[in-house]
Structure 1
Amino acid sequence: MGRTCKPHREDPGVVMSGFFLPVLLLLPLVASVPSPSRLPPKYCRRCCDHLEPPLSPSSRPVTYQAPEVRTFINMTILKGDKGDRGERGTPGKAGAEGPPGSRGVVGPKGSKGQAGAPGDPCKTQNSAFSVGRRKALHSVEYYQAMLFDTVFVNTGEHFNMFKGKFYCYVPGIYFFNINIHTWNFKETYLHLMHNEREQVILYAQPSDRSIMQSQSVMLNLELNDEVWVRLYKRERENAIYSDDVDIYITFNGYLVAPTV
C-alpha cells in the first residue's frame, strides 16, 4: 500500500517566533525616534566643541568692563607752517545803504586854477535894472524892505519885484544908485544893503520944504548876493514922499565888469 501522507502541522511556537522576530528588530528604531512632545536642545555642538554643556547665565563668571579711554591731541603742537594765500573770492552782493555820516571838517583852500579859454565875444555877460515907486512910504515899528511897482529895465529878471531885491547871477563889480524925495517936516532915513549888511546911508533931516536926495555906490558881488533898500526904524516918523502921478523914487544898478 502506498504511504498516506498526513498534513504537516506547523508548530505554534515556530509560527509565533517568526511573527515577533521582525517586530523585535524594529523596536530599537522606534525607541530612537524622539517624541514629538520633547523640546529640541537649546544649543548645538560642533565636533570640535567641548563635550560638557555650557554654563547657565546665572552660573557664568562676571566679566569686568574696562573704562573707555579717549585720546586728546593738542592741535597747537601739531600746527604746521602758514599756507599760501588763496585766490580772491567772488565779490558778494552790496549791502543795504547805511545812514549818512556827519559832515567832515572843511579842508584847506586849494590852489588857484589856470585861466580858461577866452569866451565868445558875441556872448558878453551883462546885468542891469532900473525900477521906480509911485506910492509914498512911512516907517513902522520894524525894518522894512522898499518895494517897487514900476519896471524900466530888468535884464534877465535879476531884480525880484516881489521882494524888492537884486540877485547877482553874474559875479563882478556893480554900480548902484537910489533917488528919493523927502517929506516936509519928516525925517528920511534909508540904508542900501548888501545881503544883511548896511553899506551906505541916505539921510535927510526934517525941513519945512521937501528936496530930492541921491546916493550911489559900487560893490563887488559874488554869485547869489543880494542888494536892496531898507527903510530904517526910528522913534519919530520916517517917510518918503511920492504920488500916483509922477515917480519920485528910483533904484538902479548895472554890471561894470564881470569877475575874470
Structure 2
Amino acid sequence: MKPLLFLLGLIASSCQIEDNKIPSLCPGQPGIPGTPGIHGSQGLPGRDGRDGRDGAAGIPGEKGEIGQPGLPGPRGDSGSPGMHGLSGEKGAQGECAVAPRSAFTAKRAESRAPPLADQPIRFDVVLINEQGHYDADTGKFTCQIPGVYYFAVHATVYRTSLQFDILKNGQSVASFFQFYGNWPKPTSLSGGALVRLEPEDEVWVQVGVGDYFGFYSSIKTDSTFTGFLVYSYWQNSAVFA
C-alpha cells in the first residue's frame, strides 16, 4: 500500500499549477483571446538624456557673397610725429637765369646826302647789334621781347635846321627841333624817350617836312641812333615762359 500511495502522491504533485502554467502532463484547450485593454493615459515626460560627445568637424561650406560696406568708424586720435628723415643728396647745380637782352647803336655814314622827309633815316654803320633786332637796311628796330625800351638820337647839325621824330609804328612818340642860326661850326641836337613795346612793334627816326633835315656826319662828328631794353615783361617773354 505504501508504494502505491507514494506513486499517487508524485502524480498529484506533478499536476499542480506553477506560475499559471499547466504542466504538459495535463494538457488543455487554448482559451479564447481576451478583449484588448484600454490605452493607458500618457506617461510623464522623461528626463533629458546626457549630452553626447562632440562630433568630428564638418567640411567647410562655400564662401558667401561679400556683404555691404559698413559705416565709417569714428576717427582715431592723431598719431605722434614721426622721426625726421635723412637729408637727401645735393642736387646738380642749375643753370643761372639770364635776363632777356636787346640793344643796338648805329650811326650814319660820312658824306651822306641829307635824309629824305617822311622816310626812316638809315643809320647804316652798325656799332653794336648782337641780337639783330635793328635792321641797318631799313633803319628800323623791330621788337622781339615785350617790355620798356629807351631810344636816343644824337644828331650833328650843320648849316641847316633840323627837326626829327622818334616814331613807333608810324606814330610820333617824341619830337625835337634845332633852328640854324648861321653858326660857323656844327652844333648838336639830342633827344630820347621811353617806349613800351610788344613783339613786332617797330621804332625808327624820321625827319619832318620842309628844309629841316640837317643831319651831318664827318670824320670828327657823328649822328647816332641807340636803343636798348630797360626791363621786360617776364611773364610774357619766351625766355621766362
**TM-score, length of structure 1 as denominator length:** 0.49
The answer to whether residue 194 in structure 2 is matched with residue 218 in structure 1 is yes
Code of the aligned partner of 2:200: N
Alpha-carbon distance between aligned partners in 1 of 2:121 and 2:220, rounded to the nearest angstrom? 18
Paired position in structure 2 for 1:198: 172
Query: In the alignment, is the contact (CA less than 8 A) between 2:165 and 2:207 conserved in 1?
Result: yes
* Offset at residue 239 of structure 1 (A): 2.2
Paired position in structure 2 for 1:227: 203
Deviations 1:112-145 (A, max 9, x none): xxxxxxxx643321100011112344254x5121
Give me the CA root mean square deviation: 2.0
* Offset at residue 154 of structure 1 (A): 0.4
DSSP-derived class of the 1:144 partner: coil
Deviations 1:172-231 (A, max 9, x none): 0111110001122x1101111011101111211121123111001101101110010012
Deviations 1:64-88 (A, max 9, x none): xxxxxxxxxxxxxxxxxxxxxxxxx
Distance 1:151 1:238, change over 3 A: closer
DSSP-derived class of the 1:187 partner: strand
Code of the aligned partner of 2:136: M
Distance 1:175 1:150, change over 3 A: same
Query: In the alignment, is the contact (CA less than 8 A) between 1:170 and 1:223 conserved in 2?
Result: yes
Greater helix share, structure number: 1
Unpaired runs of 5+ residues, structure 2, are 1-94, 235-241
Paired position in structure 1 for 2:144: 169
Distance 1:171 1:237, change over 3 A: closer
Alpha-carbon distance between aligned partners in 2 of 1:158 and 1:240, rounded to the nearest angstrom? 24
Alpha-carbon distance between aligned partners in 1 of 2:114 and 2:221, rounded to the nearest angstrom? 16
Paired position in structure 2 for 1:76: none
Unpaired runs of 5+ residues, structure 1, are 1-119
Query: In the alignment, is the contact (CA less than 8 A) between 1:144 and 1:232 conserved in 2?
Result: no
Query: In the alignment, is the contact (CA less than 8 A) between 2:115 and 2:121 conserved in 1?
Result: no
* Offset at residue 155 of structure 1 (A): 2.3
Paired position in structure 2 for 1:54: none
Alpha-carbon distance between aligned partners in 2 of 1:257 and 1:246, rounded to the nearest angstrom? 34
After superposition, where does 1:129-140 map in structure 2 within 5 Å? 129-135=104-110, 136-138=112-114, 140=116
Code of the aligned partner of 1:250: T
Paired position in structure 2 for 1:155: 130
Alpha-carbon distance between aligned partners in 1 of 2:115 and 2:144, rounded to the nearest angstrom? 31
* Offset at residue 238 of structure 1 (A): 2.9
Alpha-carbon distance between aligned partners in 1 of 2:115 and 2:145, rounded to the nearest angstrom? 33
Identity %: 25
